[in-house]
Structure 1
Amino acid sequence: MNTTHVWAAVAAVALLGFAFKAVGPAVFGERELPPRARSVMALMAPALLAGFVMVDLAGPGWSTLDLTVVGGVAAGVGLRLCKAPFPVVMVGAAVATALLRWAQ
């Protein structure tokens, strides 16, 4: 999968998200969505993001797995689980990845 395909997929998902958000109020008006539908919609974006991260991390067919990046992502997840602010998580993950690459 080349970069053009990835960006096309990102654009398609963004357009679908905008379309869903625009159509929802038009169809449902003032009514509330059922709780099950709200929970599914709330979990859709994190699931898609996780999929994009895994494809980018492991490469097509899991052929280009870079363990230094896996370590950086793990450090970011750990920092986020410790309730660190998002900028701290990003810097911590980048520093962890850099240190792992330097140690190689």
Structure 2
Amino acid sequence: MTATIWWTIAGCTVVTALIKAFGPVVMGGRELPARVGGVIVLMAPALLAALVVSSALANGEHLHVGADTVGVAAGAAVLVLTRAGVLTSVLVAATLTAALRLLV
């Protein structure tokens, strides 16, 4: 690896540490307001949903709908409509994606 890559990794490490330290330093041991706590709790599911959508619809350079997109949609439908577990949903998504890729 080149020195540029290592400097980038080091820079990202320092910035991440600063960002994580920013909250406790600013709050100084005080309790968060209820509204702020509610927003923080909702950030993780929103970020996860954004990652899933971008992974399912991205083809490297542009948006693309393919077998993996259909698999993710089917897995989500199974999860929501049948209240099955996450493992069942992932298995349905993987099986459907593999079957569609085999056919196409």
What does 1:3-82 align with in structure 2 at a 5 Å threshold? 15=16, 19=20, 23-24=23-24, 27=27, 29=29, 31=31, 33-59=32-58, 60-62=61-63, 65-81=64-80, 82=82
Query: Which blocks of at least 5 consecutive residues in structure 1 are unaligned?
Result: 1-7
Counterpart amino acid of 1:61?
A: H
CA RMSD of aligned residues (A): 3.1
What does residue 92 of structure 2 align with?
92
CA contact 2:79–2:89 (8 Å) conserved in 1? yes
* Higher Rg of the two aligned structures: 2
SS of residue in 1 equivalent to 2:84: coil
C-alpha deviation, 1:19, in angstroms = 2.4
Indicate how the Cα distance of structure 1 residues 30 and 83 shifts in structure 2: closer, same or farther if over 3 A, else same: farther
| CA shift digits 1:12-54 (9 cap, x unpaired) | 8xx57x927x945x936473x3332122111111111222222
Percent identity at matched positions?
Answer: 30
Normalising by structure 2, report the TM-score. Answer: 0.62
Counterpart amino acid of 2:83?
A: K
